[in-house]
Structure 1
Amino acid sequence: MSNETSEQLNKVVSDQVVGAKKAITAPLPHPPSFSPQASPREMKKRLDWGEPALTIIDIRDRETFGKEHIKGAMCMPADEQFVETISASLEHERDIYLYGNSDEETAQAANMLRQAGFTRIAELQGNLDAWKTINGTVEGYNA
């Protein structure tokens, strides 16, 4: 067999292997995509998928956080030290979901982090109330 024929045969086999892999994995579930403005259902899908590489940050004050918050959320109030605290704690490429008292407050905090170089910030639309509407898990002494 000539070298050229061998190369052609290798290409055909390689193309068949790639095609077979695509056909086999196409029906499998894929992780939900990331969106800068996330609905509670989108975030819940990622959590239900078992997504280990995301962080949920509650930007409300500590007292409000203690009363009730999304299960697993971290309390990092949007104060003067907000960006510095998050920069010291999390990688700039990490998927971070923020929520606060209002969508406007959440958007403002998200923009502060984006300006500081964070690339994957998602604003949880509707905040805690919307999360509870879809029966998302909450914790705290009022939960």
Structure 2
Amino acid sequence: MFSNLIPTPEPMKAQSRVQDLKSRLDWGEPALTIIDTRSREAFNASHIQGAISLPMDVLVSRIGETIEPARDIYVYGETDEETAQAAAKLREAGYPNVAELTGGLAAWKAVGYPVEAISAIIA
């Protein structure tokens, strides 16, 4: 009876703004994965907090190792065009719940959302 009164995050869209993703993360919804398809070097320099690196050349071959097809996936690349290509590849590989993160990392940073970097260890 009161289920209509409980706020819920907006459903995932094929093209999502960074604010849509941040809203889901703030909601505490763990059933999503953020994939960065840029090069490993670009990922290590800076990426959306919590994202995993699956560069375009290994995206489809490696995604099945860790991510179930029913999972919600937010993907971003170097450009919106690259992001769209990655999303299309994922959908063709059997992942129906894919959102293209419009503006990618640049849009994420522009609004001041958290990013991570991986430091190189020099031996």
1:94 aligns with 2:71: yes
User: Is 1:46 aligned with 2:24?
Assistant: yes
Per-residue deviation, 1:141: 5.3
Moved over 3 A (4+): none
Q: Distance in 1 between matches of 2:90 and 2:3?
A: 36
TM-score (norm 1): 0.79
Which of 1 and 2 has higher RCO (CA within 8 Å, sep 6+)? 2
The answer to whether 1:69 aligns with 2:47 is: yes
Uncovered stretches (5+) of structure 2, i.e. residues with no partner: none
> Greater share of helix residues, 1 or 2?
1
SS in 2 for 1:130: helix
Task: Give yes or no for the alignment of 1:124 onto 2:94.
Answer: no
**TM-score normalised to the size of structure 2?**
0.91
Say how many residue pairs are matched: 119
Give the Å deviation of 1:51.
0.8
SS in 1 for 2:5: coil
Cα RMSD over matched residues? 1.3
- The match for 1:15 is none
For 1:25, the equivalent position in structure 2 comes to 3
Unaligned runs of 5+ in 1: 1-20
Match of 2:88 in 1: 111
Q: Rg bigger for which structure?
A: 1
Q: Secondary structure at the match of 1:26?
A: helix
